[in-house]
Structure 1
Amino acid sequence: MDTEPCWSVAETELFARQGLPFGSDEKALVIGKSLPAAADAMAKAFDEPGGGTEIADELLRLVTEVVTAKAEAMPGARELVELTAAAVPVAVASNSPRALLDAALARGGLSEMFPVKLAADEVTAPKPDPEMYLTACRLLDVEPADALAFEDSMTGLRSARTAGMPVIGVPTLKHQDFPADVVIGSLRDEELLAWVSGWPRR
Protein backbone atom coordinates (compact mmCIF):
# COMPACT_ATOMS: atom_id res chain seq x y z
CA MET A 1 0.00 0.00 0.00
CA ASP A 2 1.22 3.46 -0.86
CA THR A 3 0.54 4.89 2.59
CA GLU A 4 3.50 7.26 2.70
CA PRO A 5 1.52 10.16 1.16
CA CYS A 6 -1.11 9.58 3.87
CA TRP A 7 1.55 9.80 6.56
CA SER A 8 2.85 12.98 4.92
CA VAL A 9 -0.60 14.60 5.10
CA ALA A 10 -0.82 13.85 8.81
CA GLU A 11 2.78 14.84 9.50
CA THR A 12 2.39 18.10 7.56
CA GLU A 13 -0.66 18.93 9.67
CA LEU A 14 1.19 18.38 12.95
CA PHE A 15 4.19 20.42 11.80
CA ALA A 16 1.86 23.20 10.63
CA ARG A 17 0.27 23.35 14.07
CA GLN A 18 3.74 24.19 15.36
CA GLY A 19 4.21 26.86 12.69
CA LEU A 20 6.89 24.72 11.04
CA PRO A 21 7.35 23.68 7.40
CA PHE A 22 7.35 20.03 6.39
CA GLY A 23 9.70 19.24 3.52
CA SER A 24 12.10 16.52 2.44
CA ASP A 25 14.44 17.04 5.40
CA GLU A 26 11.58 16.70 7.87
CA LYS A 27 10.24 13.67 6.01
CA ALA A 28 13.64 12.01 6.26
CA LEU A 29 13.40 12.28 10.07
CA VAL A 30 10.30 10.08 10.25
CA ILE A 31 9.96 7.96 7.10
CA GLY A 32 9.77 4.22 7.71
CA LYS A 33 9.95 4.56 11.49
CA SER A 34 7.53 2.96 13.89
CA LEU A 35 4.82 5.23 15.24
CA PRO A 36 6.54 5.78 18.64
CA ALA A 37 9.91 6.44 16.98
CA ALA A 38 8.39 8.88 14.49
CA ALA A 39 6.51 10.66 17.28
CA ASP A 40 9.69 10.94 19.36
CA ALA A 41 11.52 12.44 16.36
CA MET A 42 8.69 14.95 15.94
CA ALA A 43 8.73 15.80 19.65
CA LYS A 44 12.43 16.59 19.31
CA ALA A 45 11.78 18.75 16.24
CA PHE A 46 8.99 20.54 18.14
CA ASP A 47 11.25 21.00 21.19
CA GLU A 48 8.68 19.16 23.30
CA PRO A 49 10.67 16.76 25.52
CA GLY A 50 8.46 13.93 26.69
CA GLY A 51 5.74 14.80 24.19
CA GLY A 52 6.10 11.67 22.08
CA THR A 53 3.14 9.77 23.49
CA GLU A 54 0.66 12.59 22.91
CA ILE A 55 2.04 13.22 19.42
CA ALA A 56 1.83 9.51 18.60
CA ASP A 57 -1.83 9.37 19.57
CA GLU A 58 -2.73 12.35 17.40
CA LEU A 59 -0.55 11.20 14.51
CA LEU A 60 -2.21 7.77 14.52
CA ARG A 61 -5.66 9.34 14.58
CA LEU A 62 -4.88 11.61 11.66
CA VAL A 63 -3.12 9.07 9.48
CA THR A 64 -5.81 6.43 10.04
CA GLU A 65 -8.43 8.89 8.81
CA VAL A 66 -6.43 9.62 5.65
CA VAL A 67 -5.53 5.97 4.97
CA THR A 68 -9.14 4.83 5.38
CA ALA A 69 -10.34 7.50 2.96
CA LYS A 70 -7.56 7.82 0.40
CA ALA A 71 -4.80 5.19 0.50
CA GLU A 72 -4.17 3.30 -2.73
CA ALA A 73 -2.21 0.19 -3.57
CA MET A 74 1.14 0.85 -5.21
CA PRO A 75 0.92 0.47 -8.99
CA GLY A 76 1.49 -3.19 -9.78
CA ALA A 77 1.15 -4.35 -6.17
CA ARG A 78 -1.83 -6.64 -6.63
CA GLU A 79 -0.36 -8.34 -9.70
CA LEU A 80 2.98 -8.85 -8.00
CA VAL A 81 1.43 -10.27 -4.82
CA GLU A 82 -0.82 -12.61 -6.82
CA LEU A 83 2.11 -13.90 -8.88
CA THR A 84 4.32 -14.31 -5.82
CA ALA A 85 1.69 -15.95 -3.61
CA ALA A 86 1.02 -18.53 -6.34
CA ALA A 87 4.63 -19.68 -6.02
CA VAL A 88 5.83 -19.09 -2.44
CA PRO A 89 4.45 -18.15 1.00
CA VAL A 90 4.04 -14.39 1.47
CA ALA A 91 3.77 -12.09 4.47
CA VAL A 92 3.42 -8.45 5.40
CA ALA A 93 5.89 -7.15 7.99
CA SER A 94 4.83 -3.56 8.62
CA ASN A 95 6.17 -0.88 10.93
CA SER A 96 2.59 0.42 11.26
CA PRO A 97 0.51 -0.56 14.31
CA ARG A 98 -2.06 -3.32 13.76
CA ALA A 99 -5.07 -1.01 13.49
CA LEU A 100 -3.44 1.03 10.74
CA LEU A 101 -2.10 -2.03 8.92
CA ASP A 102 -5.57 -3.57 8.85
CA ALA A 103 -7.09 -0.31 7.62
CA ALA A 104 -4.55 0.00 4.82
CA LEU A 105 -4.88 -3.60 3.61
CA ALA A 106 -8.67 -3.40 3.74
CA ARG A 107 -8.64 -0.17 1.76
CA GLY A 108 -6.50 -1.83 -0.94
CA GLY A 109 -8.44 -5.09 -1.00
CA LEU A 110 -5.29 -6.97 0.00
CA SER A 111 -6.30 -8.36 3.39
CA GLU A 112 -7.01 -11.90 2.21
CA MET A 113 -3.87 -12.16 0.09
CA PHE A 114 -1.43 -12.49 2.99
CA PRO A 115 -1.63 -15.53 5.30
CA VAL A 116 0.84 -13.84 7.66
CA LYS A 117 0.43 -10.19 8.71
CA LEU A 118 2.78 -8.76 11.34
CA ALA A 119 2.52 -5.25 12.79
CA ALA A 120 4.93 -3.11 14.77
CA ASP A 121 2.94 -3.34 18.00
CA GLU A 122 3.15 -7.15 17.87
CA VAL A 123 6.92 -7.35 18.30
CA THR A 124 9.23 -6.24 21.08
CA ALA A 125 11.40 -4.11 18.80
CA PRO A 126 10.08 -2.76 15.45
CA LYS A 127 12.22 -1.90 12.45
CA PRO A 128 15.14 -1.14 12.13
CA ASP A 129 15.53 -4.04 14.57
CA PRO A 130 15.48 -7.38 12.68
CA GLU A 131 12.89 -8.97 14.99
CA MET A 132 9.94 -8.27 12.70
CA TYR A 133 11.52 -9.94 9.68
CA LEU A 134 12.90 -12.83 11.71
CA THR A 135 9.44 -13.42 13.19
CA ALA A 136 7.77 -13.25 9.77
CA CYS A 137 10.24 -15.78 8.37
CA ARG A 138 9.63 -18.09 11.33
CA LEU A 139 5.87 -17.87 10.79
CA LEU A 140 6.38 -18.69 7.10
CA ASP A 141 8.78 -21.52 8.04
CA VAL A 142 11.53 -20.15 5.80
CA GLU A 143 15.14 -19.20 6.49
CA PRO A 144 15.80 -15.44 6.14
CA ALA A 145 18.52 -16.05 3.56
CA ASP A 146 15.96 -17.93 1.44
CA ALA A 147 13.37 -15.15 1.71
CA LEU A 148 13.10 -11.83 -0.10
CA ALA A 149 12.10 -8.46 1.34
CA PHE A 150 10.56 -5.55 -0.54
CA GLU A 151 11.37 -2.25 1.15
CA ASP A 152 10.72 1.44 0.49
CA SER A 153 12.59 3.02 3.43
CA MET A 154 16.09 2.93 4.92
CA THR A 155 14.58 1.87 8.24
CA GLY A 156 13.07 -1.23 6.66
CA LEU A 157 16.17 -1.89 4.60
CA ARG A 158 18.32 -1.96 7.74
CA SER A 159 15.86 -4.35 9.40
CA ALA A 160 15.87 -6.81 6.51
CA ARG A 161 19.63 -6.61 6.05
CA THR A 162 20.27 -7.30 9.74
CA ALA A 163 17.88 -10.26 9.56
CA GLY A 164 20.03 -11.66 6.76
CA MET A 165 17.55 -11.20 3.93
CA PRO A 166 18.16 -10.04 0.37
CA VAL A 167 16.23 -6.87 -0.44
CA ILE A 168 14.50 -5.41 -3.48
CA GLY A 169 14.23 -1.67 -2.97
CA VAL A 170 11.37 0.52 -4.17
CA PRO A 171 12.48 3.72 -2.41
CA THR A 172 9.93 6.35 -1.53
CA LEU A 173 12.55 9.11 -1.42
CA LYS A 174 13.93 8.84 -4.93
CA HIS A 175 16.94 11.11 -4.41
CA GLN A 176 18.56 9.07 -1.64
CA ASP A 177 21.18 6.35 -2.02
CA PHE A 178 19.33 3.08 -1.39
CA PRO A 179 21.79 0.17 -1.13
CA ALA A 180 19.39 -2.73 -1.70
CA ASP A 181 20.44 -5.77 -3.72
CA VAL A 182 18.23 -4.53 -6.56
CA VAL A 183 16.52 -1.14 -6.82
CA ILE A 184 13.46 -0.69 -9.03
CA GLY A 185 11.33 2.33 -9.79
CA SER A 186 7.98 0.54 -9.65
CA LEU A 187 6.38 -2.77 -8.73
CA ARG A 188 5.41 -2.89 -12.41
CA ASP A 189 9.07 -3.35 -13.35
CA GLU A 190 8.99 -5.66 -16.38
CA GLU A 191 12.11 -7.63 -15.45
CA LEU A 192 10.78 -8.20 -11.94
CA LEU A 193 7.40 -9.45 -13.15
CA ALA A 194 9.01 -11.70 -15.77
CA TRP A 195 11.30 -13.17 -13.11
CA VAL A 196 8.47 -13.87 -10.66
CA SER A 197 6.28 -15.25 -13.46
CA GLY A 198 8.98 -17.81 -14.17
CA TRP A 199 8.88 -19.32 -10.68
CA PRO A 200 7.28 -22.79 -10.41
CA ARG A 201 3.66 -22.47 -9.32
CA ARG A 202 2.60 -24.15 -6.10
Structure 2
Amino acid sequence: MVARWFDAPGNRMVTGAPRERWGCPQIWYDMGTAPEEARYWRPVAVVFDCDGLLVDTEPCWTVAETELFARRGLSFGPEQKAMLIGRTIPAACADLTVLFDEPGRAPALEAELLGLVSDVLASSAQAMPGAHDVVAAAAARVPVAVASNSPRSLLDAALRRAGLVFPVSLCADDVIHAKPAPDMYLAACARLGVPARRCVAFEDSMTGLRSALAAGVPCVGVPSLPHVELPADLVLASLRDPFLIDWIRSW
Protein backbone atom coordinates (compact mmCIF):
# COMPACT_ATOMS: atom_id res chain seq x y z
CA MET A 1 0.00 0.00 0.00
CA VAL A 2 1.21 3.49 -0.80
CA ALA A 3 0.16 6.45 1.34
CA ARG A 4 0.21 9.88 -0.26
CA TRP A 5 -0.28 13.33 1.23
CA PHE A 6 -1.48 16.57 -0.34
CA ASP A 7 -0.09 19.97 0.65
CA ALA A 8 -3.39 21.77 -0.02
CA PRO A 9 -6.93 20.77 -1.04
CA GLY A 10 -6.60 19.11 -4.44
CA ASN A 11 -3.11 20.52 -5.04
CA ARG A 12 0.15 18.79 -5.87
CA MET A 13 1.06 15.54 -4.20
CA VAL A 14 4.02 15.42 -1.84
CA THR A 15 5.86 12.42 -0.46
CA GLY A 16 7.48 11.70 2.87
CA ALA A 17 6.03 12.61 6.25
CA PRO A 18 2.39 13.70 6.37
CA ARG A 19 1.77 17.44 6.28
CA GLU A 20 -0.38 19.13 8.89
CA ARG A 21 -3.47 21.07 7.83
CA TRP A 22 -6.06 22.17 10.39
CA GLY A 23 -4.27 20.01 12.95
CA CYS A 24 -4.70 16.61 11.28
CA PRO A 25 -2.60 14.57 8.84
CA GLN A 26 -3.66 14.57 5.20
CA ILE A 27 -3.78 10.96 4.13
CA TRP A 28 -4.78 9.28 0.89
CA TYR A 29 -5.71 5.71 1.74
CA ASP A 30 -6.31 2.98 -0.83
CA MET A 31 -7.25 -0.26 0.89
CA GLY A 32 -4.98 -2.31 3.14
CA THR A 33 -3.91 -1.15 6.59
CA ALA A 34 -4.33 2.57 7.21
CA PRO A 35 -1.11 4.44 8.06
CA GLU A 36 -0.53 4.83 11.77
CA GLU A 37 -0.53 8.63 11.38
CA ALA A 38 -4.29 8.49 10.74
CA ARG A 39 -4.86 7.21 14.27
CA TYR A 40 -3.24 10.18 15.98
CA TRP A 41 -5.92 12.78 15.36
CA ARG A 42 -9.16 12.93 17.37
CA PRO A 43 -12.06 15.07 16.08
CA VAL A 44 -14.53 16.50 18.58
CA ALA A 45 -17.58 16.36 16.25
CA VAL A 46 -18.68 14.74 12.99
CA VAL A 47 -20.76 16.00 10.07
CA PHE A 48 -22.01 13.37 7.64
CA ASP A 49 -23.24 13.85 4.11
CA CYS A 50 -26.33 11.77 3.32
CA ASP A 51 -26.90 10.87 -0.34
CA GLY A 52 -24.44 8.27 -1.55
CA LEU A 53 -22.65 8.16 1.80
CA LEU A 54 -25.17 7.10 4.47
CA VAL A 55 -28.14 6.30 2.28
CA ASP A 56 -27.92 4.59 -1.10
CA THR A 57 -30.04 7.20 -2.83
CA GLU A 58 -27.84 7.58 -5.89
CA PRO A 59 -29.56 4.66 -7.67
CA CYS A 60 -32.87 6.42 -6.93
CA TRP A 61 -31.52 9.65 -8.39
CA THR A 62 -30.16 7.74 -11.39
CA VAL A 63 -33.55 6.16 -12.10
CA ALA A 64 -35.22 9.58 -11.86
CA GLU A 65 -32.55 11.33 -13.93
CA THR A 66 -32.64 8.61 -16.58
CA GLU A 67 -36.40 9.08 -16.90
CA LEU A 68 -35.99 12.87 -17.06
CA PHE A 69 -33.55 12.51 -19.95
CA ALA A 70 -35.58 9.76 -21.67
CA ARG A 71 -38.65 12.00 -21.77
CA ARG A 72 -36.57 14.26 -23.98
CA GLY A 73 -35.14 11.51 -26.16
CA LEU A 74 -31.71 11.72 -24.53
CA SER A 75 -29.51 9.01 -23.06
CA PHE A 76 -28.19 9.20 -19.50
CA GLY A 77 -24.76 7.76 -18.70
CA PRO A 78 -21.66 8.26 -16.54
CA GLU A 79 -20.84 11.66 -18.06
CA GLN A 80 -24.29 13.03 -17.30
CA LYS A 81 -24.26 11.47 -13.82
CA ALA A 82 -20.91 13.10 -12.99
CA MET A 83 -22.37 16.46 -14.03
CA LEU A 84 -25.27 16.16 -11.56
CA ILE A 85 -24.04 14.17 -8.56
CA GLY A 86 -23.84 16.03 -5.26
CA ARG A 87 -25.43 19.22 -6.59
CA THR A 88 -28.63 20.89 -5.46
CA ILE A 89 -31.73 20.45 -7.61
CA PRO A 90 -31.83 24.16 -8.55
CA ALA A 91 -28.15 24.18 -9.57
CA ALA A 92 -28.50 20.97 -11.56
CA CYS A 93 -31.68 22.09 -13.29
CA ALA A 94 -30.18 25.45 -14.21
CA ASP A 95 -27.58 23.57 -16.26
CA LEU A 96 -30.17 21.14 -17.59
CA THR A 97 -32.16 24.00 -19.14
CA VAL A 98 -29.13 24.60 -21.34
CA LEU A 99 -28.54 20.92 -22.09
CA PHE A 100 -32.22 20.36 -22.86
CA ASP A 101 -32.51 23.67 -24.72
CA GLU A 102 -35.41 24.65 -22.46
CA PRO A 103 -34.61 28.26 -21.49
CA GLY A 104 -36.64 29.67 -18.62
CA ARG A 105 -37.96 26.27 -17.52
CA ALA A 106 -35.69 25.71 -14.50
CA PRO A 107 -38.56 25.80 -11.96
CA ALA A 108 -40.59 23.34 -14.04
CA LEU A 109 -37.60 21.01 -14.34
CA GLU A 110 -37.01 21.22 -10.59
CA ALA A 111 -40.60 20.18 -9.89
CA GLU A 112 -40.42 17.38 -12.44
CA LEU A 113 -37.15 15.97 -11.09
CA LEU A 114 -38.23 16.34 -7.45
CA GLY A 115 -41.41 14.41 -8.19
CA LEU A 116 -39.53 11.62 -9.95
CA VAL A 117 -36.94 11.30 -7.18
CA SER A 118 -39.51 11.39 -4.39
CA ASP A 119 -41.45 8.48 -5.86
CA VAL A 120 -38.39 6.26 -6.28
CA LEU A 121 -36.76 7.20 -2.99
CA ALA A 122 -39.87 6.50 -0.92
CA SER A 123 -39.93 2.90 -2.10
CA SER A 124 -36.30 2.01 -2.80
CA ALA A 125 -33.72 3.90 -0.73
CA GLN A 126 -31.62 1.81 1.67
CA ALA A 127 -28.89 2.56 4.20
CA MET A 128 -25.38 2.12 2.84
CA PRO A 129 -23.43 -0.88 4.21
CA GLY A 130 -21.81 0.12 7.48
CA ALA A 131 -23.78 3.37 7.83
CA HIS A 132 -25.67 2.42 10.99
CA ASP A 133 -22.52 1.15 12.74
CA VAL A 134 -20.43 4.21 11.85
CA VAL A 135 -23.11 6.73 12.86
CA ALA A 136 -23.82 4.87 16.11
CA ALA A 137 -20.12 4.60 16.99
CA ALA A 138 -19.52 8.31 16.28
CA ALA A 139 -22.65 9.46 18.12
CA ALA A 140 -21.58 7.49 21.20
CA ARG A 141 -18.41 9.58 21.43
CA VAL A 142 -18.93 13.03 19.91
CA PRO A 143 -21.77 15.29 18.70
CA VAL A 144 -22.92 14.41 15.17
CA ALA A 145 -24.85 16.13 12.40
CA VAL A 146 -26.00 15.45 8.86
CA ALA A 147 -25.60 18.06 6.11
CA SER A 148 -27.09 17.41 2.69
CA ASN A 149 -27.59 19.28 -0.56
CA SER A 150 -31.04 17.71 -0.84
CA PRO A 151 -34.15 19.74 -0.02
CA ARG A 152 -35.71 19.08 3.39
CA SER A 153 -38.42 16.77 2.05
CA LEU A 154 -35.93 14.43 0.36
CA LEU A 155 -33.41 14.47 3.21
CA ASP A 156 -36.01 13.60 5.82
CA ALA A 157 -37.50 10.90 3.58
CA ALA A 158 -34.08 9.33 2.96
CA LEU A 159 -33.13 9.30 6.65
CA ARG A 160 -36.52 7.97 7.64
CA ARG A 161 -36.38 5.22 5.02
CA ALA A 162 -32.86 4.24 6.19
CA GLY A 163 -33.74 4.38 9.89
CA LEU A 164 -31.15 7.05 10.72
CA VAL A 165 -31.79 9.83 13.26
CA PHE A 166 -29.66 12.95 13.81
CA PRO A 167 -30.07 15.61 16.50
CA VAL A 168 -28.70 18.22 14.07
CA SER A 169 -29.81 18.15 10.44
CA LEU A 170 -29.08 20.70 7.72
CA CYS A 171 -30.28 20.72 4.13
CA ALA A 172 -30.04 22.97 1.09
CA ASP A 173 -33.08 24.92 2.31
CA ASP A 174 -31.21 25.98 5.47
CA VAL A 175 -28.39 27.98 3.86
CA ILE A 176 -28.09 30.72 1.26
CA HIS A 177 -25.33 28.93 -0.63
CA ALA A 178 -25.34 25.11 -0.65
CA LYS A 179 -22.35 22.86 -1.34
CA PRO A 180 -19.71 23.39 -2.76
CA ALA A 181 -19.85 26.70 -0.86
CA PRO A 182 -18.68 26.42 2.78
CA ASP A 183 -21.95 27.69 4.28
CA MET A 184 -23.46 24.33 5.18
CA TYR A 185 -20.40 23.06 7.02
CA LEU A 186 -19.89 26.35 8.79
CA ALA A 187 -23.53 26.26 9.89
CA ALA A 188 -23.24 22.64 11.03
CA CYS A 189 -20.14 23.38 13.09
CA ALA A 190 -21.87 26.38 14.65
CA ARG A 191 -24.88 24.23 15.55
CA LEU A 192 -22.58 21.63 17.08
CA GLY A 193 -20.62 24.32 18.93
CA VAL A 194 -17.18 23.27 17.68
CA PRO A 195 -14.48 24.98 15.58
CA ALA A 196 -14.40 23.79 11.98
CA ARG A 197 -10.82 22.54 12.23
CA ARG A 198 -11.74 20.26 15.16
CA CYS A 199 -14.63 18.64 13.29
CA VAL A 200 -14.44 15.94 10.62
CA ALA A 201 -16.65 15.60 7.54
CA PHE A 202 -17.62 12.43 5.69
CA GLU A 203 -18.29 12.95 1.98
CA ASP A 204 -18.71 10.83 -1.16
CA SER A 205 -18.54 13.49 -3.89
CA MET A 206 -16.23 16.24 -5.06
CA THR A 207 -19.01 18.78 -4.51
CA GLY A 208 -19.24 17.88 -0.83
CA LEU A 209 -15.50 17.63 -0.43
CA ARG A 210 -15.02 21.15 -1.79
CA SER A 211 -17.59 22.43 0.67
CA ALA A 212 -15.87 20.83 3.64
CA LEU A 213 -12.42 21.98 2.62
CA ALA A 214 -13.65 25.51 1.92
CA ALA A 215 -15.02 25.62 5.47
CA GLY A 216 -11.74 24.36 6.92
CA VAL A 217 -13.19 21.00 7.95
CA PRO A 218 -10.93 17.95 7.54
CA CYS A 219 -12.64 15.35 5.38
CA VAL A 220 -12.91 11.57 5.07
CA GLY A 221 -13.78 10.64 1.51
CA VAL A 222 -15.78 7.51 0.64
CA PRO A 223 -16.32 7.78 -3.15
CA SER A 224 -19.74 6.66 -4.34
CA LEU A 225 -18.78 6.54 -8.02
CA PRO A 226 -16.21 3.99 -9.24
CA HIS A 227 -12.83 5.25 -10.42
CA VAL A 228 -13.35 8.65 -8.78
CA GLU A 229 -10.43 9.95 -6.74
CA LEU A 230 -11.22 12.37 -3.94
CA PRO A 231 -8.27 14.42 -2.62
CA ALA A 232 -9.60 14.19 0.92
CA ASP A 233 -7.55 13.91 4.10
CA LEU A 234 -8.41 10.23 4.43
CA VAL A 235 -10.00 8.17 1.66
CA LEU A 236 -11.68 4.82 2.33
CA ALA A 237 -13.35 2.41 -0.06
CA SER A 238 -16.31 1.80 2.23
CA LEU A 239 -17.88 2.70 5.57
CA ARG A 240 -17.35 -0.96 6.44
CA ASP A 241 -13.58 -0.57 6.45
CA PRO A 242 -12.44 -2.08 9.79
CA PHE A 243 -9.97 0.76 10.36
CA LEU A 244 -12.81 3.28 10.44
CA ILE A 245 -14.72 1.72 13.34
CA ASP A 246 -11.49 1.10 15.27
CA TRP A 247 -10.47 4.74 14.75
CA ILE A 248 -13.84 6.10 15.86
CA ARG A 249 -13.89 3.91 18.95
CA SER A 250 -10.50 5.33 19.94
CA TRP A 251 -11.81 8.92 20.17
* Correspondence for 1:151: 203
The residue that corresponds to 2:75 in the other structure is: 21
1:85-124 to 2 correspondences below 5 Å: 85-111=139-165, 114-124=166-176
Cα deviation, 1:87-138, whole Å, max 9, x if unaligned, reads 0000000000000001001001113xx1100010111111111000000000
The aligned residue for residue 121 of structure 2 is: 67
Moved over 3 A (4+): none
Identity between Structure 1 and Structure 2 (%): 58
Larger helix share, 1 or 2: 1
C-alpha distance in 1 between matches for 2:98 and 2:224: 23
Greater share of strand = 2
Aligned to 2:244: 192
1:163 has 2:215 as partner: yes
CA distance in structure 2 between the aligned counterparts of 1:8 and 1:183, rounded to whole angstroms: 24
What is the rounded CA distance, in whole Å, between the counterparts of 2:234 and 2:96 in structure 1? 31
Q: Tell me if the contact between 1:30 and 1:41 (Cα under 8 Å) persists in the aligned partners.
A: no
The RMSD of aligned alpha carbons is 0.8
Which protein is bigger by CA-based radius of gyration?
Answer: 2
- Give distance in 2, aligned partners of 1:69 and 1:42: 26
Counterpart of 1:137 in structure 2 is: 189
**Higher-RCO chain (CA-CA 8 Å, sequence separation at least 6):** 2
SS of 2:202's equivalent? strand
Q: 1:4 aligns with which of 58, 63, 82?
A: 58
Aligned partners of 2:186, 2:125: CA distance in 1, in Å? 28
Distance in 2, matches of 1:162 and 1:42, equals 26
2:105 maps to what in 1? 51
Count, aligned residues: 197
Q: Once the 2 structures are TM-superposed, how far is the Cα of residue 41 of structure 1 from its aligned partner? A: 2.0
Q: Which amino acid aligns with 1:15?
A: F
TM-score computed with the length of structure 1 as normaliser: 0.95
CA offset at residue 4 of structure 1? 1.0
Paired residue for 2:132? 78
Distance in structure 2 (CA, Å) of the matches to 1:41 and 1:183:
29
| Aligned equivalent of 1:126 | 178
How much has 1:177 moved relative to structure 2?
Answer: 2.4
Query: Which consecutive residues of structure 2, in runs of 5 or more, have no partner in the other structure?
Result: 1-54
